[in-house]
Copies of this chain bind each other. A is one copy, B any other.
Amino acid sequence: MVEKTNTNPLGPGYENVPGKEMRFRDIFRDTLRAEMIRDENVFLMGEDISGGFDKKTKEPLDAWGGPFAATKGLVQEFGPKRIRDAPISEAAFTGAAVGAALTGLRPIVDLMYFDFVTVAYDQLLSNAAKSRYMFGGQTKVPMTLFARSGAGTGHAAQHSESFYSMLAHIPGLKVVVPSDPYSAKGLLAASIRDDDPVFLVNDKKLINLSGFVPDEDYTIELGKGRYLRNGNDITLVGMSYTSIVCKEAAEKLAADGISCDVIDMMSLSPFDEDILIESIKKTNNVVIVDEDTPRASMASEFAAVIADKGFDYLDSPIRRVTSPHSPVPYNRDLEKAFMPQPEDVVYSVKQVLGL
């Protein structure tokens, strides 16, 4: 099984961990499978997650195997009881997942495109997130939701959202944003095992990327960020796909002699205040990069935390590099201009540093 040992910077302790290079989509599916084996109360629902049924036998055909083939093959192994194809009723099946979670199961909901969270919004906000608190801690809601976010695939305004900040705003809900296969495995496993409702936001641009994944069973603690690169001149804060954008920007900046700390937040709610402040103490400068639109966003939140708790260490204004306050356009060139690019980050870093 072990194809090669770690070449990726997963941090100290991971230098000699057995693992292999895998695509995001493959480790995502493998992790779903592992968690379903691990706990028989874990099951999945969503539209076309097996996809198609034989009219005569009534058996699932696994024609789609889920949006982006996230669940391909699972219905053969676990059957339609645990891979439940649902009608196009996101509100009802998200609500049913809350009901199932309240009564002893651990449902996973595939919401397909992140944009569709809006039709299930009330069940998420009023029931999933609030039940434990408003019922005085009598119960818990151990459910996981995931969906594909982000621009860059020509899906236009209604299939390209990155509005995870709205979910992170909701008390009672947790939100995680993997940025590579390693974090996908660790965060998905941790989310499924967590006793609170967790939303995993999966940028489409990551799905076909590869990266190193340790073979061992591991989880990544919800609420923890990590360094993707260490430097001294400025801190770049990324989340989801913009962590990759930050890494690329850091490479370009290195060529100009500017060394960057690159932080991948990984979790948006709860999130890692400590890593932000720790890095700013060292670099004294920061640029936050977010594909979500800017107003009341996670970029704003990180800026606000730093402007309070990190104020004394700052040498320069806190700059955000985000999408414009606009829906996502269809045309490829406009869409590219919409998304924060490494060049935008480089430009802002130089501005902030007065270079």
Contacts and interface: CB of A to CB of B under 8 A. Distances in A.
B308 A168 contact: no
A100 to B, nearest CB: 21
B325 A317 contact: no
Given A169-B166, A169-B293, A327-B129, A312 B304 contact: no
A184 interface: no
A157 B169 contact: no
A300 interface: yes
Contacts of A156: 134
Tell me the number of copies of this protein.
Answer: 2
A115 interface: yes
B326 A316 contact: no
A323 to B, nearest CB: 9
Nearest to A330: B134
A134 B122 contact: no
A169 B326 contact: no
Q: Which of A158, A172, A300, A327 has the most CB of B within 10 A?
A: A300
A318 B204 CA distance: 36
Interface residues of A, number: 51
A296 B158 contact: no
Contacts of A170: 163, 293
B304 A311 contact: no
A119 interface: yes
Given A118-B121, A118-B122, A122-B121, A134 B308 contact: no
18 contacts: A118-B125, A119-B122, A126-B158, A130-B158, A133-B329, A134-B327, A166-B296, A169-B295, A296-B296, A296-B297, A297-B301, A304-B320, A306-B307, A307-B307, A307-B318, A308-B318, A308-B319, A308-B320
Given A121-B121, A269-B295, A296-B301, 7 more contacts: A115-B126, A126-B158, A133-B329, A134-B329, A163-B170, A303-B308, A304-B320
